[in-house]
């Protein structure tokens, strides 16, 4: 008997790791039909090759998710800028401007500017002595500094808007009224920012985008405000959660952590492997698409209008591809944290730079760092899209 229709998605709260149901599905039915709590159905893709195939198929569309009445992971309507901003700015000079701000060369420039600041932040932690709280004491300030350099949003504003961004990302834990108020606050902030960048351009990305758009007239100020908030959530909230999750993973795997202390030059490889093993989303799903035509995936027929949930976190541990403790060195088996194919994360070079830079400096200055509380007592935040904790107490 097929496993289709037997599962209700999501599979309960699994904060520290993936649900055991995912392990069964990836082995037995890597593309399966699941039932949503509202009774609607969706396709869940858990296999590695199947996920890559789904992510590469243009008939499985992302922007379609924002069409009114379309099926989506979110329980509320989402706008095109919140879903696929790169597609929305396609055909305008804004797309090139955003892409140019995210190249590996741009990453090197941000790294040079941020290194002295990270050194100062770690000096302050060391001077204050243990215990310390890493999320607010180091990771949030340095990520906010990055957003300031990149986007031109003041670090204090970025940190204040972080809570808004988090609500917007983890929409399912909040009421429609809360979500409306979050978007209204962010809209008002970015409308003011547009006015201030017009009067005082600063050469940062948002200022340049406002100038480009003023010359081309593609989007209204309201749309530009949505674009700004979407860039902020992508460039701030995701890498911030990511570095927290990777730190927790390293604490949870003392042998990998010990190896890294002995072999700091291997940080990029170790991090890549830690990313593969660390789920980003509580449900294992980080990416969604809607079919625009018939698509056959692993012998399953996906019909137009059907929702496809791609469980990249589960695919990253597909036992048909990855041995449990053996790092994958084959480029055809790249981990899927940043997606795959045409719509994969344009900020991945920057994200890798930020993660490596922060962990490199932290481990060099405080090699004896360890969690100050048992990892299973960490305050996990609830939400469907991005796992995270409210604090990360450490000692040394």
**What residues make contact with ligand HEM under the rule CB under 6 A?**
62, 84-86, 102, 150, 230, 234-235, 238-239, 242, 280, 286-287, 337-339, 343-347, 350-351
Specify the residue, 204 or 373, whose C-beta has the smaller distance to ligand HEM: 204
> For ligand HEM, which is the closer residue by CB, 282 or 347?
347
Q: Measured at CB, which residue is nearest to ligand HEM?
A: 347
Contact partners, residue 137, CB within 8 Å, separation at least 6 = 121, 124, 125
Least distance from C-beta 277 to ligand HEM, angstroms? 14
CB 252 to ligand HEM: min, Å: 18
Q: Which is nearer to ligand HEM, 46 or 230 (CB)?
A: 230
| Residue closer to ligand HEM (CB basis): 102 or 260 | 102
Closest approach, Cβ 104 to ligand HEM, in A, equals 13
Residue 334 C-beta: closest distance to ligand HEM, Å: 12
Separation CA 292–CA 305 (nearest Å): 6
Q: Which is nearer to ligand HEM, 333 or 395 (CB)?
A: 333
Considering beta carbons, is residue 70 or 395 the nearer one to ligand HEM? 70
Nearest distance in Å: CB 55, ligand HEM: 6
Least distance from ligand HEM to the Cβ atom of residue 310, Å: 8
Min dist. Cβ of residue 378 to ligand HEM (A): 19
Give the residue with the Cβ less far from ligand HEM, 58 or 258: 58
Query: In the 3-class helix/strand/coil scheme, how is the chain assigned residue by residue?
Result: CCCCCCEECCCCCCCCCCCHHHHHHHHHCCEEEEECCCCCEEEEECCHHHHHHHHHCCCEECHHHHCCCCCCCCCCCCCHHHHCHHHHCCCCHHHHHHHHCCCHHHHHHHHHHHHHHHHHHHHHHHHHCCCEEHHHHHHHHHHHHHHHHHCCCCHHHHHHHHHHHHHHHCHHHCCHHHHHHHHHHHHHHHHHHHHHHHHCCCCCHHHHHHHHHHHHCCCCHHHHHHHHHHHHHHHHHHHHHHHHHHHHHHHHCHHHHHHHHHCHHHHHHHHHHHHHHCCCCCCCCCEEEEECCCEEECCEEECCCCEEEECHHHHCCCCCCCCCCCCCCCHHHCCCCCCCHHHCCCCHHHHHHHHHHHHHHHHHHCCCCEECCCHHHCCECCCCCCCCECCCEEEC
Nearer to ligand HEM, 28 or 108 (CB): 108
Output the smallest distance, CB 287 to ligand HEM, in A: 4
């Amino acid at each position: 008997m097929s496993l289709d229709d037997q599962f209700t998605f999501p599979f309960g709260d699994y904060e520290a790791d993936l649900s055991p149901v995912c392990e069964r599905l990836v082995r037995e039915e890597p593309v399966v039909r699941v039932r949503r709590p509202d009774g609607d159905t969706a396709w869940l893709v858990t296999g590695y090759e199947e996920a890559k195939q789904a992510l590469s198929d243009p008939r499985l569309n992302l922007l379609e998710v924002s069409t009114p009445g379309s099926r989506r992971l979110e329980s509320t309507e989402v706008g095109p800028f919140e879903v696929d901003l790169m597609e929305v700015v396609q055909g305008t000079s804004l797309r090139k401007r955003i892409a140019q701000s995210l190249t590996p060369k741009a990453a090197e420039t941000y790294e040079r500017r941020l290194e002295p600041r990270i050194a100062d932040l770690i000096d302050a932690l060391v001077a204050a002595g243990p215990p310390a709280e890493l999320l607010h004491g180091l990771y949030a300030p340095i990520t906010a500094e990055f957003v300031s350099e990149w986007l031109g949003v003041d670090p204090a504003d970025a940190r204040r808007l972080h809570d808004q961004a988090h609500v917007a990302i983890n929409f399912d834990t909040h009421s429609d009224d809360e979500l409306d108020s979050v978007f209204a606050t962010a809209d008002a902030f970015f409308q003011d920012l547009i006015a201030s960048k017009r009067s005082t351009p600063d050469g940062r990305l948002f200022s340049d985008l406002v100038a480009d758009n003023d010359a081309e007239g593609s989007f209204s100020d309201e749309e530009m405000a949505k674009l700004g908030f979407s860039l902020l959530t992508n460039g701030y909230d995701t890498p911030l959660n990511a570095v927290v999750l990777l730190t927790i993973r390293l604490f949870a795997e003392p042998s990998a952590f010990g190896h890294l202390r002995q072999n700091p030059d291997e940080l990029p490889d170790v991090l890549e492997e830690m990313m593969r093993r660390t789920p980003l989303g509580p449900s294992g799903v980080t990416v969604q698409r809607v079919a625009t035509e018939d698509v056959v995936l692993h012998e399953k027929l996906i019909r137009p209008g059907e929702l496809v949930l791609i469980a990249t976190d589960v695919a990253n541990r597909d036992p048909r591809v990855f041995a449990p403790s053996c790092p994958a060195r084959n480029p055809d088996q790249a981990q899927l944290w940043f997606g795959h194919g045409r719509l994969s994360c344009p900020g991945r070079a920057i994200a890798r730079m930020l993660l490596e830079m922060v962990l490199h400096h932290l481990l060099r200055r405080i090699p004896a760092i360890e969690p100050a509380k048992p990892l299973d007592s960490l305050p996990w935040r609830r939400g469907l899209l991005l796992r995270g904790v409210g604090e990360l107490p450490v000692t040394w």
